[in-house]
Structure 1
Amino acid sequence: MHPNQLLSDFLRWIFTAIGAAMAILEPTLPYILICTLMILADCFTAWSLSRRARKAYPNRVSKDGKKFKSHHFGAVIVTILKAWALIVMSYLIQCHITDGMPIDLTKVAAGAICFWQLWSILENESSCNGAKWATVLQKILVDKTSRHFDIDLDELKD
């Protein structure tokens, strides 16, 4: 068999497998898209909070506090992958295990992820913000401003 034919057959098998997986998981794509957008919106609001904290507390936030660092990018990718895995597993459980139950597990999983991200977005937007709505929200939400301060968290453990 010619090497080009071997490569062509291999690629055909790979793309067939990818196509089959996409066909099986296609119903989860809208949920994956919505949850991914929510996670990215949370990242944007965290970055905005970092800028506000730098402006409000210039001596306490590091000079690169408003930059998006690579280890934060890694955490975002892990969060996105976990969300995708939860949505896909929920869909597969619903289709193959709990198919007789009147509950849509995929929607429950996506809703939980979106609620979690929305809560975090509200915390980010209300932190280090003097607006009246932010003050009201701070009575029930966590103020994340101190997370952007230039301190070593190990110092706080003692």
Structure 2
Amino acid sequence: MSGCPCGLGEYESCCEPLHKGQQAAITAEQLMRSRYSAFARQQIDYIQSTTALGQQQALDIPAIRDWSVSNQWLQLDIVQANEKLDKSHALVEFKAHFHDGKQVQVHHEVSHFVKQAGRWYFLDPTLEQTLTMKQPCICGSGKKLKQCCEQFL
């Protein structure tokens, strides 16, 4: 048994079942923690599969892999979690502590998540995508972007 990078127990009973697809995150915070653990354990497929469905193809997988591998992941702090922004959106503010080979760094982010078909997904605001407000939402809800996730990107 080994400690889970997310800080909530043993990896085998914490984030590993999510990484292996044996269960889905119940909350946005749990998804955030499992994504942090995925970075720490180089589970890049999990990072991709838990990003909003309409954003997965735009991810720079080699860059994500390089960032995951080149850093030593030290600690995750959840600053706040608001699981009910509306019926299907949540917010998690966190600090990811890591060592980049030269010094300790802290990545502080407020992340938004969307729940579709009973599963939570990360909405990545950093992706360079041409979005129009009348297009179908990137989360796969079937709604127009402006009526769904636009305010969270």
Larger relative strand fraction: 2
Larger relative helix fraction: 1
Higher relative contact order (CA 8 A, sep 6+): 1
Measured against the shorter chain, the TM-score band is under 0.3
Q: TM-score, normalised by structure 1?
A: 0.25
Answer with 1 or 2: which has the greater Rg. Answer: 1
Q: TM-score, normalised by structure 2?
A: 0.26
